Amino acid sequence: MISREKIATSKRWVVKIGSALLTANGKGLSHQVLSGWVEQMAALRHAGHEVVLVSSGAVAEGMSRMGWRTRPHNLNELQAAAAIGQMGLVHAWEACFQQYGLHTAQILLTRDDLDDRSRYLNARSTLRTLLELGVVPVVNENDTVTTDELRFGDNDTLAALVANLIEADLLVLLTDQDGLFDADPRFNPDASLINETRVDNPQLDEVAGGSAGGLGLGGMVTKVRAARLAARSGTGTVIAAGRQDRVVEAISRGDTIGTLLVPVQEPQAARKRWLAGQLQPRGSLTLDDGAVNVLRKQGSSLLAVGVCGVKGDFSRGEAVVCLDLAGCEVARGLVNYNALETLKIMGKPSSQIESILGYIDEDELIHRDNLVLL
């Protein structure tokens, strides 16, 4: 379970920085401010942490370039502002990270990308590959094409879903507030900062309030909701004041800064529970005795060679039930190949997958990280 002491050794971070922390008093991006953030994130990377940056600021930069003083409400104008500002936002991040010898990659997502299982897996694979290559992905919502029905609503939610996507250890939500208080500090001088609590603490619903700023969309209520989303993958969340001096470094040292929201379950337990109980199976695989024994005794991945029967019309990434020869349920997991592909490669060693299908996505039919025994 995440704690202040364990933050220093947490491997994979998602850092979300809001518009108010990137702009010069609403007049567009501040390159000096961005440089300060990059210095701290570069230090994380060089210390061995993997970092995904979820960056607001595209609309704010677009507004500045167009001379607009208030955030437009018309969807087309918002999309135009995002398209204009995205150019400056990406260039600014890239230029700053290159000073530290780090490459960046732009990732634009919509809710539809994460709802569609195939696109979800593609996004997941891309992000993981970028992290393995030492690249810092810069993630934003694809505002230029999203409609109200497909919007995440705010970048706090987007950051939480990215944390789920890559199974991050820590989500850092940087804001213009010191963290979560037990009362509204704007009206109650006796309000105290909540240093640490479980993410399911019902008190959080009472103390979270709305956003006081004009550029961003997220208030504390969205941050609490985001922390609970992230907790589904066992990810801990820190909500902290972005304007505090070298706040990312302080968090990485385990300093008591901001509010730490602790997930109820360990990452692996949270994921296994999700696999076991929250996904609707789309088909079934019948396994031979050897495959069943390997899964139960060694906790290994499921290979196609151990499959002797396929039922259902499932797609890549969907959940299937694994049955023994007697028809008893052994496990559930997410398949790396669709039903037709699985029929073609079942009973065959992994070395033959490419020759049979003409390509190979994974050596395993179901990776052990996506498999839960029942």
Q: Where are the domains of the chain?
A: 4-270, 279-373
Nearest of 226, 99, 243, 94 to residue 156 by alpha carbon: 226
Q: What's the pLDDT at 182?
A: 85
- Report the DSSP beta bridge partners of residue 136: 104
CA distances from 80 to 58, 62, 369 (A): 10, 8, 41
- Within 10 Å of residue 19's Cβ, how many Cβ atoms? 25
Q: What is the pLDDT of residue 195?
A: 94
Fold agreement (4-270, 279-373): no
- Separation between Cα atoms, residue 1 and residue 356, nearest integer Å: 43
**Cβ pair 120, 317 in contact under 8 A:** yes
pLDDT band at 213 (very low <50, low <70, confident <90, very high): very low
3-state secondary structure the chain: CCCHHHHCCCCEEEEEECHHHCECCCCCECHHHHHHHHHHHHHHHHCCCEEEEEECCHHHHHHHHHCCCCCCCCHHHHHHHHHHHHHHHHHHHHHHHHCCCCCEEEEEECHHHHHCHHHHHHHHHHHHHHHHCCCEEEEEECCCCCCHHHCCCCHHHHHHHHHHHHCCCEEEEEECCCCCECCCCCCCCCCCECCEEECCCCHHHHHCCCCCCCCCCCCHHHHHHHHHHHHCCCCEEEEEECCCCCHHHHHHCCCCCCEEEECCCCHHHHHHHHHHHCCCCCEEEEECHHHHHHHHHHCCCECHHHEEEEEECCCCCCEEEEECCCCCEEEEEECCCCHHHHHHHCCCCHHHHHHHHCCCCCCCCECHHHEEEC
CATH of domain 279-373: 2.30.130.10
pLDDT class of 4 with cuts at 50, 70, 90:
very high
pLDDT in tens, 102-134: 999 999 998 778 767 678 878 888 999 999 999
- pTM score, whole prediction: 0.78
93, two tokens: 């991040």
Split at pLDDT 50, 70, 90, the class of 26 is: low
Average the pLDDT over each of 97-111, 263-277, 285-299 and give the range with the smallest value: 263-277
Angle at 178 between CA 174 and CA 183, to 5 degrees: 125
- Euclidean distance between CA atoms 55 and 293, whole angstroms: 47
Measure Cα distances from 356 to 301, 302, 360 in Å.
Answer: 21, 18, 9
Pairing of strands 283-287, 319-323: parallel
What pLDDT score does 216 carry? 39
Lowest-confidence pick of 2-16, 36-50, 264-278: 264-278
pLDDT of residue 214: 39
- The better pLDDT of the pair 131, 58 is held by 131
Residue 209: which of 235, 177, 240, 238 has the closest Cα? 177
Residue 21's Cβ-count burial label (10 Å; 0-12, 13-18, 19+) is: buried
* CA contacts within 13 A on the Cβ side of 298: 9
Contact 36, 120 (CB under 8 A): no
Asked whether residue 147 carries a pLDDT value surpassing 90, the answer given is no
pLDDT band at 211 (very low <50, low <70, confident <90, very high): very low
The neighbouring-strand residues paired with 17 are 55, 174
CATH code of the region 4-270: 3.40.1160.10
Q: What is the pLDDT of residue 190?
A: 85
Please say whether the beta carbons of 155 and 18 come within 8 A.
Answer: yes
